Structure 1
Amino acid sequence: MKDIQKLDWGQITPPNFPFSDYEYLLALETSQSVGSETGWIPHYLTVWQGVELVGATFVYLKTNSYGEYIFDWEWADAYHRCALPYYPKLVSAIPFTPATGAKILLHPNADRDAVSRALISAMLALAEEKGCHSVNCLFLPPEEVPYFSERGFLIRHSFQYHWFNREYVDFSDFLDHLKTKRKKQIVREREQLIARGLEIRVVTGEAIRPRHAGIVYRFYLSTIDKMGAYPYLTSRFFDTVMATMKDRLVLILAYDRGTEIAGTINYRKGDHLYGRYWGADEYVRHLHFELCYYQSIDYAIRNKITLFEAGAQGEHKFPRGFLPERNYSAHWIFHARFRTAIAQFLNEEKALIGRLIDDKLGSSPYHQQIPGSGRVSTD
């Protein structure tokens, strides 16, 4: 990342997605959260018009499938059973981050079609040069899907639960839009937590201090330990983003008699909010919901945030006002026979995802049927 000027990169980053910002990608590298040891080796493909950067994408040479959230372990297993190599592969995604955002970064004055196609061609060329067996672009925004589809990529559908701001006046107004059962559940959970006597603080901008990096890292490790996962993000990563991205961070911390006992880190850019990591030193009933959902929704309403993505998984998000939103990924499979088999699987999976979303929306937690973002790809 250091080979590209920060000012140039800043001209092509999207207005609502903090994870492709120069500071974030650089922090992943300099903290050694990505690299050969973690199986995420970064490459940046760029398009220039004279001395002006007009387009770019970020891809990672991968030797495993960890930290992607669009799971292809069964594909890798099928390759293995046929005595074929599945790795290395090329992946365009934000490491360890299941958030939808642009993978084709464009200057406002760029020829969108020409630069997008040039970058996709560059991905395929790099994959062949590195001996990759596939190219995988994950969590694509709907407007990018046609560029991959026209080139022959297989399009995969999945879904997450997202919260959308319907111009709510305040948190109470949001609750009033929920069905009575759902509203009472949230009110009851919050009342029980208030009785616990904890103090909740929202820390943003210049109020973020270097010491907060250690606090958030401690909570991150506590969750990693409970899940039996691998701590890809290093303490240096948190030190770096707390110093360089404090204008895009929203920390929500719980204190018991002046000592922080739990917290979550959110990233904000433009009118979008993204929940990332949470952790706690001790179990307190409903505290996860309070910090990760209710306090974050309240912050979103007060700050005119239109979209809140709270991360992967979470059936428990649905009764609390999060709705299913379709995700897209694009896959280029070099092996012809496996490409045919995977294409058939993806068609069946797409139909299943559609039925699941329809079923969920049919039992919406809201009084009225409220659609998601409305941003849907036809592929």
Structure 2
Amino acid sequence: MSEPATSTITVEACHSLSDIPRETWERLAGTDNPFLRYEFFEALENARCTREETGWKPCHLVFRLAGEIAGVAPAYLKSHSMGEYVFDWAWADAYQRYGLDYYPKLLIAVPFTPSQGPRLLFDSQLRDALDARAIHDLLDTLIARLGAHSWHLLFPNAEDQRLLHHEEQLHRIGCQFHWHNRGYGCFDDFLGELTSRKRKSIRKERRQVAEQGITFTRFHGRDIPGHVLAAFYVFYQATYLKRGQRPYLTQPFFEQIREKLPDHLHIVMAIKDGEMIASALFLSGGNTLYGRYWGCLEEYNHLHFETCYYQGIELAIERSLQTFDAGAQGEHKLVRGFEPVLTHSWHGIAHPAFHDAIDVFTREEAEQVLGYYEDAKTALPFRQNDQQNDGA
């Protein structure tokens, strides 16, 4: 049997998740990944986090093969570049200097979530019928219909990367740090894999948190009391307000996640003298723990590392999760056993001259990121890594 011709494949934009049948979305997205659940995007819309007024106009994509829905993708028509974690501010500034509009742009991504995962939620027949050129052509044609000037697909998983890969298209890479569970039964098992100096450093940090009289309680799903969720939201807001920003998410969003996706939701609360002083929120799915939000009202020594990283590692071990993705930033994770991981994004720029200029930029950037990635691997705190470096 011959494969369907790509001319029978179409893509359209829906400006509300409700325009896509729930059962269709679930058939294509599955239910393991919390960031792809229908309920997650529904909560974002219902809690008014993703709407035109916030610069996140829903524009979810529906792909049809011979007239039948064979794929979907979470997407938004954006009027700014906030909350994306793949930074294109310089591109927008360059457009402005030449008197051109950079926005609106079509963003294919999970809002406010720099975590890798499926983005093109295709059934096997559609995936087999497409190649990179066809995908890029479909999206290029779509942005022209939408009046957008570019499209951006962020943090795809390996399967989507294989489908998107094309030497002539704009491809960016980045570097994050993830923790991997190698069959640890407890936190000390993990520490046992580190060099003596790093092991002592982490134990010292944890001890200093305890010496400040701080303890931790974990809550899960619908067992999270209302006053705990409300306290978390105060801490979450504080993280943004300290930077002079408004938080992206509303308290009703978190309340809906607790009710609709309870199996995925975890909160770690730091307590001192009977008072809640800091908190971190995690989502779990499949084999991965995702560290998403944290906040405190008052600074304590090493409290951030303990609440966001060490408590997260313990939670991942406790639940036999293989990976802990603690978010987009930074090198301080490296010395705590988080390993460098490359991330990817793909971009379609309608303006020919800017496409060529950005192509040069992305290729030069990729060389720098790959160099950083290789250097980071040599700085890992594991005993085996130390032995390899000594023998080099």
Using structure 2 for the length normalisation, give the TM-score.
0.89
Match of 2:225 in 1: 209
Matches within 5 A, 1:212-231: 212-231=228-247
Mapped partners of 1:115, 1:211: distance in 2: 49
Higher relative contact order (CA 8 A, sep 6+): 1
| Partner residue, 2:13 | none
Query: Which amino acid is the alignment partner of residue 296 of structure 1?
Result: G
- What corresponds to 1:88 in structure 2? 104
Aligned counterpart for 1:358 among listed residues 368, 374, 385: 374
Query: Aligned ranges for residues 109-120 of structure 1 at < 5 Å?
Result: 110-114=125-129
Q: Mapping of 1:165-244 within 5 angstroms?
A: 165-244=181-260
**What is the alpha-carbon distance in structure 2 between the residues aligned to residue 210 and residue 183 of structure 1?**
37
**Which of 349, 356, 362 is equivalent to 1:333?**
349
* 4+ residue runs over 4 A deviation: 48-53, 115-122
Secondary structure, aligned partner of 1:140: coil
Contact 2:335 2:379 in 1 (8 A): no
8 Å Cα contact 1:56/1:119 also seen in 2? no
* Counterpart pick for 2:155 among 139, 142, 158: 139
Q: Take 1:25 and 1:123, find their aligned partners in 2: how far apart are those partners? A: 21
- Higher deviation after alignment, 156-165 or 225-234: 225-234
Structure 2 portions without partners, runs of 5+: 1-16, 387-392
Rounded Cα–Cα distance in structure 1 between residues aligned with 2:225 and 2:137: 43
Which whole-Å deviations, capped at 9, do the CAs of 1:320-340 have from their partners, x for residues lacking one? Answer: 011111010000111111111
Q: Secondary structure at the match of 1:135?
A: strand
Structure 1's unaligned 5+ residue stretches are 371-379
Q: Please tell me whether the aligned partners of residues 216 and 238 of structure 1 are also in contact (alpha carbons under 8 angstroms).
A: no
Give the whole-Å Cα distance in 1 for the aligned partners of 2:226 and 2:259: 7
**In structure 2, what is the Cα distance between the partners aligned to 1:321 and 1:198?**
23
Alignment size in residue pairs: 369
Fraction of identical pairs, as percent: 39
Aligned partners of 1:306 and 1:58: how far apart in 2? Answer: 26
CA distance in 1, matches of 2:240, 2:122: 35
Match of 1:304 in 2: 320
User: Against the structure 1 CA distance between its residues 334 and 48, is the aligned structure 2 distance closer, same or farther, given a 3 Å change threshold?
Assistant: closer
Deviation at residue 166 of structure 1 after TM alignment:
1.3
Change (3 A) 1:222 1:283: same
Q: Could you tell me how far apart the structure 1 residues matched to 2:154 and 2:138 are?
A: 17
Is the CA contact 1:217–1:235 (under 8 Å) kept in the aligned structure 2? Answer: yes
Task: State the shift of 1:369 in Å.
Answer: 3.1
Superposition pairs of residues 43-82 of structure 1, within 5 angstroms: 43-48=59-64, 53-82=69-98
TM-score normalised by length of structure 1:
0.92
* Contact 2:222 2:262 (8 Å CA) reproduced: yes
Letter in 1 for 2:156: L
Q: Distance in 2 between matches of 1:8 and 1:333?
A: 30
Query: Could you tell me which residue of structure 2 aligns to residue 373 of structure 1?
Result: none
CA-atom RMSD, angstroms? 2.0
In 2, Cα distance between the equivalents of 1:264 and 1:91? 27
Q: What is the CA–CA distance in structure 2 between the aligned matches of 1:25 and 1:115, rounded to whole Å?
A: 26
The secondary structure found in structure 2 opposite 1:227 is: coil
In the alignment, is the contact (CA less than 8 A) between 1:104 and 1:119 conserved in 2?
no
| C-alpha spacing 1:151/1:30, structure 2 compared with 1 (3 Å) | farther
Q: Which moved more, 1:72-81 or 1:224-233?
A: 224-233
Deviation at 1:315, TM superposition (A): 1.4
Shift of 1:87: 1.1
Deviations 1:40-76 (A, max 9, x none): 1111222356997531112111111111110011111
